[in-house]
Amino acid sequence: MLHKISAAIITLNEEVNIARTLEQLTWCDEIVVVDSFSSDKTVEICKEYGCIVHQRKFNGYGEQKLFLVSKCSNNWILSIDADEVLTNELINEIQEEFSKKTIPFKAYNLNRKHVYLGRIFKFGRLRNTPILRLFNKSYANFTNKTVHETVSYNGIVGKFKGYFLHYTANSIEKISYKKNRYANLVAEEYAKKGKKTNFPQLLFKYPYTFIKEYLFRGNFLNGYEGYVWSVYLAEYSVLKYLKLREKNKLNQ
């Protein structure tokens, strides 16, 4: 390719996923990993693939990814999570685009397909989600949010036809872990901003979220896994506010 790309990943105890992800990134000019002191073989596996590994305490997703981007030697950043895998079709499209003399865009959306408990969602909003993951860091970068960070860019965004797979969770245990982790981070962020909650809000949050996700967003068409996903989101929508309420009481 005429234009060099740095693949960028943050990790924490991802030995189950990381090799599968890295296998589809070997074509990149470098793979940079920022690890939050994993206690498993994540770092060892990354080094086997020739990754440049930095270790840093985790203080939030946005802060960690901003640090990660700063450690990449190339301007073009391909941001991939440790549980995401690029397809060959998408790789070929990126390589073709970056072999051109001039790249027409400064940022690109990549299509993400949701894999949940082993099932690829073919219905609803998660069947094919465009998300900005390939960008020139001179023009775009991550927002400094504790959780649910995004790439901030104001220009026109390019796109590819190919997609990558997001292996969200492969067990109920992993689902519970993620739910609790994200709820903690969001509650902390809300508390810092002085956000409040009340009992009526908590009372209706679960049924509202479940009905919205399961029925109106079409997850009933995704079978058992679609049901579990809707339950997860409903529980998460309540849990983050329960934790916020608890934090606000402790701070009184």
CA-to-CA distance for 28 and 86, rounded, in angstroms? 12
At 190, the pLDDT band (50, 70, 90 cuts) reads very high
Question: Tokens for 158?
Answer: 């390019």
- Of 129, 144, 169, the last residue of a domain is 169
165-189 mean pLDDT: 95
Pairing of strands 129-136, 107-116: antiparallel
Residues 140, 63: contact at Cβ < 8 Å?
no
Residues 247, 187: contact at Cβ < 8 Å?
yes
CA-to-CA distance for 19 and 49, rounded, in angstroms? 8
Whether residue 131 sits in one domain with residue 33: yes
Whether residue 181 sits in one domain with residue 194: yes
Does position 250 have pLDDT exceeding 90, yes or no? no
Whether residue 179 sits in one domain with residue 144: no
The b/e string for 55-94 (b: 16+ C-beta within 10 A; e otherwise) is eeeeebbbbbbbebbebbebebbbbbbbbbbbeeebbebb
CA-to-CA distance for 179 and 203, rounded, in angstroms? 19
Whether residue 44 sits in one domain with residue 162: yes
State residue 221's pLDDT score.
Answer: 98
- Of 140, 169, 198, the last residue of a domain is 169
Residues 228, 175: contact at Cβ < 8 Å?
yes
CA-to-CA distance for 71 and 69, rounded, in angstroms? 5
State residue 231's pLDDT score.
Answer: 98
Domain tally, the chain = 2
Whether residue 119 sits in one domain with residue 55: yes
Whether residue 127 sits in one domain with residue 100: yes
Does position 120 have pLDDT exceeding 90, yes or no? yes
State residue 83's pLDDT score.
Answer: 97
Does position 208 have pLDDT exceeding 80, yes or no? yes
Domain containing residue 141: 5-169
Helix, strand, coil distribution of the chain in percent, nearest 5: 40, 25, 35
Whether residue 245 sits in one domain with residue 149: no
Residue 76, domain CATH: 3.90.550.10
Whether residue 162 sits in one domain with residue 198: no
168-185 mean pLDDT: 95
Whether residue 208 sits in one domain with residue 138: no
Does position 251 have pLDDT exceeding 90, yes or no? no
At 252, the pLDDT band (50, 70, 90 cuts) reads confident
Does position 121 have pLDDT exceeding 80, yes or no? yes
State percent of the chain over pLDDT 70.
Answer: 100
State residue 112's pLDDT score.
Answer: 98
66-91 residue pLDDT tens = 999 999 999 999 999 999 999 999 99
Residues 249, 198: contact at Cβ < 8 Å?
no
